[in-house]
Structures are given as C-alpha cells and as structure tokens.
Amino acid sequence: KAGVTQTPRYLIKTRGQQVTLSCSPISGHRSVSWYQQTPGQGLQFLFEYFSETQRNKGNFPGRFSGRQFSNSRSEMNVSTLELGDSALYLCASSPQAGATNEKLFFGSGTQLSVL
C-alpha cells in the first residue's frame, strides 16, 4: 500500500506570491490534516479535512486555506506569502475522523522557502 504522498518536496517562492501544496493520503483514508513545522516551534496544526469538509482549524490567518476532493486528496493554499511562512509543511492521513487513538500516517513534507 502506498504511503502518504506530498508534492512537491521543495518549493521556492518570493514574498507576495501564492502557493499550492498537494497531499494524497493512503488509499482508504478519509481524514487529512496539515501541519506547519518550524525550528523551535514544533508542529503547529493548520486544519483537518474529512469527507471534503473542514472539521478543525488551527490558529492561522485566512491566507492559509485548504480543501479536500472526493478522492480524499487534499490541497493547501497560502496566498500573499510572507518570509515567516518558510517552513516544512506536513500532511497526515488517518482512516477516519472521530475515532481517536488512530495514529497519524505522515508524508515526507513540502519544504517551502519564501525569499
């Protein structure tokens, strides 16, 4: 079974641009969550999608948005990029939402650098 796939692995953008990151969950997984990882801050929760609906949202500005498609693939968009948005963005999938103790299956992340 293929794991969680994130594309692209690396991305370089300039301030003011926008970016879209993609995540394909493990086949059969319906929940996809996104995290921002920066040195010293650990992983900060961005949002979680289940069956195309956003279930939870972290404390990030409206420039950060996402969506999930009917095949459970998810995209994350950041508009008007700022230098502080430089980070590793991790996507994780789990079989279903609401049933806790499900471990998260992570992708290898997209390293975004904003110049």
**Contact footprint for another protein (CB under 8 A):** 3, 31, 33, 35, 40-45, 48, 55-56, 88, 90, 92, 97-104, 106-109, 111
Measured CA to CA, the distance from residue 23 to residue 9 in angstroms comes to: 11
Give the shortest CB-8-to-another protein separation in angstroms. 13
Closest approach, Cβ 100 to another protein, in A, equals: 5
Cβ closest to another protein, residue 79 vs residue 95: 95
CA end-to-end span of the chain, whole Å? 37
Q: Among residues 19 and 49, whose Cβ is nearest to another protein?
A: 49
Other CB atoms within a 10 A radius of the CB of residue 50 amount to 19
Distance of CA 44 to the CA centre of its chain: 11
